Amino acid sequence: MFQAYNLIPTLEVEENLRLPLKLNGLDGVDADARIENLLARLGISEKAHQYPDQLSGGERQLVAIARALVHRPTLVIADEPTGNLDLETGRQVLELLDRTTRAEGKTLVMATHSHEVIGMADRVFTIEKGRLVESTAA
């Protein structure tokens, strides 16, 4: 997941989610169900037929998160996934990422400045004097 969204501007929200599924060989009813489920869980179902430039920054971030999760990857790498979201939406997104990756046995690696993330993490690393140092999770 990119901090800058990287949504395809000429595709509707639903199409932005459908593309990675098609690239992974999944289409039809199964793809529809995954897309509808994720949009509903993120509270943006009504945005399915809008283009990225019609969305707020927070909504774009939610679509980027849905796109990253829709094909059920083994590893999710997220760069500041809540950076453009209000506190409550950010909390919901973190819970969704945590719950989804844990339930499916996936690995989530996040780069963040958010202290809320630390309490959810199994392992926490910081950069100190140019070196990666493991800390104890709070």
Domain boundary assignment for the chain: 13-135
Residue 118 has pLDDT above 90, yes or no: no
pLDDT of residue 32: 94
CATH 3.40.50.300 fits 13-135, yes or no: yes
> Any idea what DSSP says for residue 53?
G
User: How sure is the predictor about 3, in pLDDT bands with cuts at 50, 70 and 90?
Assistant: low
CA distance 116 to 4: 21
- What Rg do the C-alpha atoms of the chain give, in angstroms? 15
Task: List pLDDT tens digits, range 83-108.
Answer: 777 788 788 778 878 887 888 888 99
Per mean pLDDT, which range of 9-23, 50-64, 91-105 is the poorest? 91-105
Cβ-Cβ contacts under 8 Å for 126 (sequence gap 6 or more): 132, 133, 135
Integer CA distances (angstroms), 76 to 10, 39, 50, 88, in order:
25, 18, 25, 22
Question: pTM score > 0.85 for this model?
Answer: no
pLDDT of residue 93: 77
pLDDT of residue 87: 81
Q: For residues 45-57, give the mean pLDDT.
A: 94
CA distance 73 to 91: 22
Q: Please, are residues 97 and 78 in contact by the beta-carbon 8 Å criterion?
A: yes
